[in-house]
């Protein structure tokens, strides 16, 4: 029994060592650190940057970015409690990270910028007056 346990332990250590080597070397900002893009899904059912700018969101193809979105109640919400959503229709089928339900408050998620082109970030939750125009352009460069 003892011997068996020893083998298990050393196997676990070996596995951990292999796993450790597969983890990319962390940068000064931590593993996988990239830009953080802050957006507000505002109570008037408009997207805006914290400084009031209306876009576009500009990404570099292949870049991994974190979106930090603050979401405010715009008059209506979905059954699941979502106030808004962050959706790029052209991308969501191949990469579900481009479709995020937004609850009240701050939410963070990470995406990988797609191939270069023009995209549209939309809200697909009936969030109230102005919902149909709740979108913001996203430009992906080479
Ligand atoms: Cu909406």
pLDDT of 109-130, one tens digit each? 999 999 999 999 999 999 999 9
pLDDT band of 31, cuts 50, 70, 90: low
Question: What is the reported pLDDT for 65?
Answer: 97
With b for 16 or more beta-carbon neighbours within 10 A and e for fewer, the 101-132 pattern comes to: bbeeeebeeebebbeeeebebbbbbebbeebe
Question: 65 C-alpha vs ligand 1 centroid, how far in Å?
Answer: 23
Evaluate whether 103 touches 71 at the Cβ level (below 8 Å): yes
Cα–Cα distance for residue pair 138/57, rounded to 1 Å: 5
The yes-or-no verdict on residue 1 having pLDDT over 80 is no
Q: 20-34, 74-88, 90-104, 121-135: which has the minimum mean pLDDT? A: 20-34
Question: 129 C-alpha vs ligand 1 centroid, how far in Å?
Answer: 8
Question: 95 C-alpha vs ligand 1 centroid, how far in Å?
Answer: 21
C-alpha angle with apex 45: 108 to 135, nearest 5 degrees? 75
Per cent of the chain over pLDDT 90 is 75
Structurally, what CATH architecture does the domain formed by 33-141 represent? Sandwich (2.60)
Question: 132 C-alpha vs ligand 1 centroid, how far in Å?
Answer: 7
pTM: 0.77
So where are the chain's domains?
33-141
Question: 37 C-alpha vs ligand 1 centroid, how far in Å?
Answer: 20
Question: 33 C-alpha vs ligand 1 centroid, how far in Å?
Answer: 30
* Alpha helix segments (H runs only) across 23-132: 89-92
């Amino acid at each position: 029994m003892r011997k068996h346990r020893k083998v298990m332990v050393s196997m676990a250590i070996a596995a951990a060592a292999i796993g450790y080597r597969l983890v990319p070397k962390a940068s000064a900002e931590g593993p996988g650190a990239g830009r953080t893009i802050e957006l507000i899904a505002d109570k008037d059912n408009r997207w805006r940057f914290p400084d009031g700018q209306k876009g576009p969101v500009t990404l570099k193809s292949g870049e991994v970015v974190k979106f930090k979105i603050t979401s405010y109640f715009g008059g209506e919400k979905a059954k699941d409690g979502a106030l808004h959503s962050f959706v790029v229709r052209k991308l969501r089928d191949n990469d579900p990270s481009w479709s995020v339900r937004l609850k009240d408050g701050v939410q963070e998620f990470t995406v990988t910028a797609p191939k270069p082109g023009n995209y549209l970030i939309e809200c697909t939750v009936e969030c109230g007056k102005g919902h149909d125009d709740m979108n913001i352009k996203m430009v992906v460069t080479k």
